[in-house]
Amino acid sequence: MRILLLGGTSEARALAARLHPDVEVISSLAGRVPDPALPVGEVRIGGFGGVGGLRNWLGEHVVDAVVDATHPFAATITANAAAACAELGVPHLLLARPAWPPGDAIVVMSDVQAAEAVAEQGFSRVLLTTGRTGTAAFKDSDAWFLIRAVTAPDAEALPAHHQILLSRGPYRYEGELELLRTHRIDALVTKNSGGAMTRPKLDAAAALSIPVVMVERPALPPDVLTVSTVDDAVAWVRTTGRS
């Protein structure tokens, strides 16, 4: 059996390892992160060129199924995979890690709304963890930002007052407490990525009574079979392979 695994997440790497070597897994990474953590098995890096490009790739490589285990905010590739698989009749599964309960967070629907919330609440020292593409919305803010990202944002997308911290999880609770205290952070802005690797920042913020602004996830494509654990994804792949 051969599957295309749309990856780039810890869940995708775990799934590839669980299936190898019984299943031929082709893991696809977007290529936006330098020196990415690579899964076992074959890896392709780069985009497909929209729905049409993915549809052509699937036709040329004759895969038995597609598993989308991309980041919860990778809305474009998730929508493209759903459309291409539906057109071709290729079995398709979405592995979506559970979202974090928002608790007392200020929930917003976009980076722009998050920037508006920072201004409205008068936050002055913000830990910003929305990724390298999420900084542009804060460009005109008067606040100071500690911007934590895997790769540096473009210079023209940065707010006037900031410090960049290049870092990659997983993170530990004690380290997050120290980070928030050292930089006198008074607000955390994050996306609802879910998962355990970056959850400690929320626990540390709660312990220090630091408000959280949380960007909600984009809606998933309708009528796509979705599971929330690697175990369930493994079971689906093995069942699909026997059908």
Q: What percent of the chain has pLDDT over 90?
A: 89
Cα(91)–Cα(23) distance, integer angstroms? 15
Q: Express each pLDDT in 18-43 by its tens digit.
A: 999 999 999 999 877 777 888 999 99
Residue 146 to residues 127, 172, 211, 238, Cα–Cα distance (Å): 5, 18, 15, 44
Residue 160 has pLDDT above 60, yes or no: yes
User: Burial, 242: exposed, middle or buried (Cβ in 10 Å; 0-12, 13-18, 19+)?
Assistant: exposed
Q: Express each pLDDT in 216-237 by its tens digit.
A: 999 999 989 999 999 999 999 9
Predicted confidence band of residue 241 (pLDDT cuts 50, 70, 90): low
Predicted confidence band of residue 242 (pLDDT cuts 50, 70, 90): low
Q: Express each pLDDT in 173-199 by its tens digit.
A: 999 999 999 999 999 999 999 999 999
Residue 147 has pLDDT above 80, yes or no: yes
Angle at 111 (CA atoms; ends 78, 185), nearest 5 degrees: 125
Q: Are 97 and 159 in contact (CB under 8 A)?
A: no
Q: Give the domains, in start order, of the chain with CATH numbers.
A: 2-97+218-242 (3.40.50.720), 106-215 (3.40.50.720)
**What are the backbone dihedrals phi and psi of residue 136, each rounded to the nearest 5 degrees, phi first?**
-60, -35
Residue 243 has pLDDT above 60, yes or no: no
Look at residue 118 in the predicted model and tell me its pLDDT.
Answer: 98
